[in-house]
């Protein structure tokens, strides 16, 4: 299995980044929803700390993923896929990249405007060159709380599209990002 992408398959690094980021995003969605209904206190603070630490790692992985994508080939769409399906696939992929980055950056701004750096599981914290601001903090919290909804919608479309390609169209779209093409 090759490290780099080919015209027919995602490379090992792209696959690893995809699945690590997916785990991070699902963990972040779960923890975000879990803590949203909690009263202030130690438990909520602990969950927010874990949430922020996972987000910091996920942001680093997303940055690597995008850079790697621009430095590699992108597998071509399967033969027989309509122009509309290709357009939809491209829009969902780029929409995911944009919304994931926007969500992670908004979360970073929540931390920065709250006077904190980005934590990495208590190992260290990355300072942010963002001024502490109650008004800014509230604004970025609102943005962060809103963006999980389009993110969830795009994730559902992405997963349904992969399953549709695999089970209905019976092409290799899903295998390209899992165990490989035949």
Domain extents in the chain: 12-176
pLDDT of residue 77: 95
Asked whether residue 151 carries a pLDDT value surpassing 70, the answer given is yes
Q: What digits encode the pLDDT tens for the residues 70-104?
A: 999 999 999 999 999 999 999 999 999 999 999 99
pLDDT of residue 37: 87
Q: What digits encode the pLDDT tens for the residues 57-70?
A: 999 999 999 999 99
pLDDT of residue 155: 98
pLDDT of residue 180: 78
Query: How many percent of the chain have pLDDT more than 90?
Result: 95
Asked whether residue 1 carries a pLDDT value surpassing 80, the answer given is no
Contact 100, 30 (CB under 8 A): no
Q: Tell me how far apart the alpha carbons of residues 20 and 84 are, in angstroms, rounded to a whole number.
A: 29
- Residue 170 sits at φ, ψ, to 5 deg, of 55, 45
Give domain 12-176's CATH architecture.
Up-down Bundle (1.20)
Q: Tell me how far apart the alpha carbons of residues 145 and 36 are, in angstroms, rounded to a whole number.
A: 9
**Residue 180 vs residue 111, higher pLDDT:** 111
pLDDT of residue 170: 94
Asked whether residue 182 carries a pLDDT value surpassing 70, the answer given is no
pLDDT of residue 146: 97
Q: At which residue do the structure tokens 């809103």 appear?
A: 146
Q: Tell me how far apart the alpha carbons of residues 81 and 103 are, in angstroms, rounded to a whole number.
A: 31
Length of the chain as a residue count: 182
Q: What digits encode the pLDDT tens for the residues 4-51?
A: 999 999 999 999 999 999 999 999 999 999 998 899 999 999 999 999
The arithmetic mean of pLDDT across residues 106-120, rounded, is 97
pLDDT of residue 57: 98
Instruction: Report if pTM > 0.85.
Output: yes
Residues 6+ apart with CB under 8 A from 142: none
Residues 6+ apart with CB under 8 A from 124: none
Asked whether residue 181 carries a pLDDT value surpassing 80, the answer given is no
């Amino acid at each position: 299995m090759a490290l780099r992408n080919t015209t027919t398959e995602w490379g090992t690094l792209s696959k690893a980044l995809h699945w690590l980021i997916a785990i991070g995003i699902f963990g972040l969605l779960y923890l975000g929803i879990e803590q949203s209904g909690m009263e202030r206190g130690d438990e909520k603070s602990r969950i927010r700390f874990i949430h922020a630490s996972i987000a910091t790692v996920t942001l680093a992985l997303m940055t690597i993923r995008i850079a790697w994508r621009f430095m590699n080939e992108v597998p071509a769409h399967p033969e027989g896929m309509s122009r509309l399906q290709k357009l939809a696939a491209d829009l969902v992929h780029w929409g995911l990249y944009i919304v994931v980055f926007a969500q992670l950056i908004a979360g970073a701004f929540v931390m920065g405007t709250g006077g904190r750096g980005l934590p990495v599981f208590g190992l260290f914290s990355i300072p942010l060159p963002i001024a502490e601001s109650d008004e800014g903090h509230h604004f970025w919290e609102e943005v962060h709380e809103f963006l999980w909804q389009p993110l969830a919608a795009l994730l559902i479309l992405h997963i349904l599209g992969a399953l549709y390609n695999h089970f209905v169209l019976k092409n290799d779209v899903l295998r390209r990002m899992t165990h490989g093409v035949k």
